[in-house]
Structure 1
Amino acid sequence: MPAGLVISAPASGVGKTTLTLALARAWRNRGLNVQCFKSGPDYIDPAFHAAATGRASVNVDSWAMDRGTIAHLVGRGTDADVVLAEGSMGLFDGVAARGVSGTGATADIAEMLGWPVLLVIDPSGQAQTAAAIAAGLRDYRAGVRLAGVVLNRVASPRHEDLVRRALNDAGIAVFGALPRHAEISLPKRHLGLVQAEEQAEIGKLIDEAARFVAEHVDLDAVLRSAASWSPQPAANGMNVTPPGQRIALARDATFSFIYPHMLEAWRAAGAEISIFSPLADEAPDASADVCWLPGGYPELHAGKIAANARFRSGLRAFADTRPVHGECGGYMVLGTALTDADGIRHEMTGLLGLETSFAKRRMHLGYRLAALAAPMPGHQVGARLRGHEFHYSTIVAQPDTPLAVVHDATGAVIAETGSRRGQATGTFFHLIAEDR
């Protein structure tokens, strides 16, 4: 029977991902099968999880998904020895308004699955106060159970002793304390996101993290703290309609942000996926009946995309007779032009009138609920789609027919409506699920 555990923290940037990867690899090195999940809409971490465990990881999200979908996705851990769900932001951080089955908080997943929470606490700049924070998190919500704490970035043995004593007095188990160790920090880029496949040394980085954590954390005690878990059969699956029977999917360093569970759901529904690389100047498969351009980093490769004539002409020819859809970065490439951070304007494919710019960066971040005003591949007019938006581009022009009425998690209407022109559609949000 698998043992389930949630890895969370009081805030972002405390070390959840590093600890999750280290525990997963350390237990895998001991011969255990480890399955990871990511709570929330972060689409980067699942690839790191897969690198650490050798098993595909997916997102589970209480704002966008119902309990049946979450149970279906988590069911892949049935044959594992250990199942780890890595949280996002702080343990109770979500949106103000409840979504399908919660607010998107990690605590929702912990309560739903009945798994205890392993807290990562960074006591930098404090001592006994760290225990007060941990105790507050322990007692904040009755249905959420605390397994214990791992301290991260401890300054000295004296510092560790002060924090440990306070946590012990509060009745909170301390499984280990990690001194500062910059070598295992995961790198960041201009969006704060670096993908696992972009790092040639990812295996060595995870091995070093596993060695370091095994040296300072009681792995056996952490494993004993996990809950024995007997997953219940899901009443239904993903209920996802593929955008077509044969999907030409752009996939390379520019186009890589798509939720793993969506691809799996397409395949499970019988769709075939044909990969092509716009960066390598490849056109979509002529035998496909739909083309999908995921998000990514078009601003880093805008000059090359603009110069790749075979890709651009092939995509235009495809769109003459069949649907083409772009998400976020893919949407930008379907547009007329993209201005990069240096202020250089690059011509894009021109299938839509959208023009975007990174010259003046402004973060767009949050859940999105879209009611389709026009059809897009796999979804009809009136469909309610749930997704997440994260980018720094600004809209210079968005002249085409709006694709949807889009609200944020508070219910406020936002300007990023998406677009439709002919066979081409695009959205700034990344699709997570459709309301049933």
Structure 2
Amino acid sequence: MRDFLPADKARRERVLAVIRDRYRAHGFDEIETPVVEEYARLHAGIGGDNEKLSFSVLKRGMDAEAIRAAADDPAALSDLGLRYDLTVPLARFYASHRSELPSVFRAIQIAPVWRAERPQKGRYRQFVQCDIDIIGDPSARAEAELLVASLDTLDALGLEGGTVRINDRRVLDGMLDAFGFSPEERPGVLITIDKLDKIGPAGVADELRARGATAAAVDAFEEFLGRPDAAEDEPFGAAQIRGALPEGIADDLVAHLVGIGDAVAAARPAAGGVPLRFDPFLVRGMGYYTGTIFELAHPSVTYSLGGGGRYDGMIGRFLGQDVPAVGFSIGFERLVDLVAPGEGERAGAVVLVHDRDVPVAELAALKAALVAEGARVRLEQRTKNLKALLERATADGYTSFAAVAAGQPRDALEVKPLG
């Protein structure tokens, strides 16, 4: 959990303003949910490993004896927890307010979440997520809207050239079935396949054997990984998808992915091609994904800048009736470090350096006049080391300064650039 100095905070807010603006331009509406959710909801078996990282809130009114008695039962100690993502709260929100929402609801959520991570570079215990979700639309149109809005947002932040790796959990199931893995062993097999980029095909095969996975299935999977990828250079479409898969994957699943690509291409004709790449081994670890899954990549970095997928079964847990849903989350903490400082971040920021004897009323009037003209204004009393004062103002994002003496009228104020 981190503190942010004024310049860092200003940078973060500027990036958040761009994200909000682009999401709203694509028809999404912002909501807000509490930072805590019921313990049982956060530990319902749908959040994957994130459930293990959830911060729990101790029940109110428990004395030391009651705490000791409940030490082996987390649910008896806690009835609430800090949210570890924004998808579980959204599902609860929709189930609670469905009658007040449109049949197809497009939501924005931008807020902090908490996970009991081991702190390291790029991993924090408190961080901001920027989510958009579409609830109530089972078609490829929903995925396309999310992807277009996310790519548009990346462009607006000066990060053109983003691409999306895309897959479908149903395609993964079909592949595992084709190789011969039993339904019972598939969750563990997917955990290992998710490490393919890190440990390579041989490492995945070795780990699957160490797990005790079906030997013939592992052999078939290893053989498949070793084949030449004839579809590597194909543009996104049916040929590339089919060429990257074993025989037997349902036509409707391939058509669903192709439809997403066609819609994204139609919405971004100036992008120079479909910015999608089919990845048959993209897994994404959240247990609630039921269909399409995707991750956002950018050529400037080796890690993903966001991701998401379809989670048609989650809302039904709270509502008692299944509702289609799909979402996308931008990794804000990773993204903000890539965005170049914008001119608007620093424009019209003036430091008024005044002598000690300037009356407060005169300073207030001068400042108010500049603020009314659209400037950002800071008052600073002149010090012996004026250079250090101005260097500090420059570091804080100010672009100009003016010296103020007693009795100085507004039209005599000379604003000079800093630096």
Identify the TM-score tier after normalising by the shorter chain.
under 0.3
Q: TM-score, normalised by structure 2?
A: 0.23
- Give the structure with higher Rg (CA): 2
The structure in which a higher percent of residues are helix is 2
The structure in which a higher percent of residues are strand is 1
Q: TM-score, normalised by structure 1?
A: 0.22
Higher relative contact order (CA 8 A, sep 6+): 2
